[in-house]
A and B are shown apart, each in its own frame.
Chain A
């Protein structure tokens, strides 16, 4: 159990901070974890393709292996889970009467970095203004919400295509 938690904590840190380059001692301090475990699990995560080692001036740093398929798949799942776990999906359902909710763009594809926005499409006739500040703090990303009554109302073709290629978090997206 403890083993899983430490490894998971390191993994999640790099999912949230994919461009961070940290030495093991920094990971130890930042995440408040024992150094031998950090060394052990960073090596394991490197083998799994989640992290990669970079040497700068003879010093070893660990960073997210953003080109690895394993990293992208796990990050994608982590991102989707984070949106539910933060309470954002439940909040939007309650506030807007069970709308269709789609996350799209880099966050949905697991390719987001620290500066990326979480792009969320909401299909609702409601004109209620929504404050997502609380959830931005939890998921450590800015949230950009696109509200339309129906996907057919979106004039920007590229935006509509991005939305239909996203992940439906609630409801059903009817295109045809």
Chain B
């Protein structure tokens, strides 16, 4: 069952209320930043662009999970990560970007549909944009 909003994520245990866990959040942030620093050093080519994108997506997902831990939530699915951005921290702009990347990542990971190089580069730029905009998220 695909939830249609944050409330359904909570009702169906796709997002679980927990006590705030700053330690876990910091640890996830460290991993995300390590990953971003690693992929930042890679020169992107037509051959590796899709894989680099996948890593950018992973780092974003880690950062959202980290943010959720600081707010006292454990989130178990990616649709709910988006709803968390949209409805819990009220960042519609981040949600839109993230949801588009989620679609692209699903097409890649679950259906084996690689993106065109130009689309992939655009997705990487959007990933960077999320990271930049998320920096202003409380």
Q: Specify the main secondary structure of chain A where it touches its partner.
A: loop
Judge whether B115 and A97 touch: CB under 8 Å.
yes
**Inter-chain contacts of B115 with A (CB < 8 A):** 97
Residue B107 interfacial (CB < 8 Å)? yes
CB pair B103 A98 closer than 8 Å: yes
- List A residues 81-115 near B (Cβ within 8 Å): 93-94, 96-98
Q: How many residues of B contact A (CB 8 A)?
A: 14
Q: Tell whether B10 is near chain A: CB-to-CB under 8 Å.
A: no
- Whether a CB of chain A sits under 8 angstroms from the CB of B116 is yes
**Chain B contact residues: over half helix, strand or loop, or mixed?**
helix
Is B121 an interface position by the 8 A CB rule?
Answer: yes
**What is the size category of the interface that chain A forms with chain B?**
10 to 19
B104 at the interface (CB under 8 A from A): yes
Residues of B within 8 A of A149 (CB): 122
Q: A124 at the A/B interface (Cβ < 8 Å)?
A: yes
A128 contacts B116, CB within 8 Å? yes
Please name all residues of chain B whose beta carbon is closer than 8 Å to the beta carbon of A94 when the two chains form the complex: 107, 113
Q: Does A171 contact B (CB under 8 A)?
A: yes
Tell me the nearest residue of chain B to A128, going by C-beta: B116
Partner of B100, one of A98, A126, A127: A98
Q: Does any Cβ of A come within 8 Å of B119's Cβ?
A: yes
> A97-B119, A125-B118 given as contacts; is B96 within 8 A of A172 (CB)?
yes
**A127–B115 Cα gap in the complex (Å)?**
12
Task: Jot down 17 A-B pairs with beta carbons below 8 A, ordered by A.
Answer: A94-B107, A96-B116, A97-B104, A97-B107, A97-B116, A97-B119, A98-B103, A98-B107, A124-B119, A125-B116, A125-B119, A125-B121, A125-B122, A126-B116, A126-B118, A127-B116, A171-B100
Binding site for A on B (CB under 8 A): 96, 100, 103-104, 107, 113, 115-116, 118-123
Residues of chain A touching chain B, judged by Cβ–Cβ distance below 8 Å, are 93-94, 96-98, 124-128, 149, 171-172
Kindly list the 9 A-B residue pairs having the minimum CB-CB distance in the complex, ordered from nearest.
Answer: A125-B118, A97-B119, A125-B122, A98-B103, A97-B115, A126-B116, A126-B119, A172-B96, A126-B118
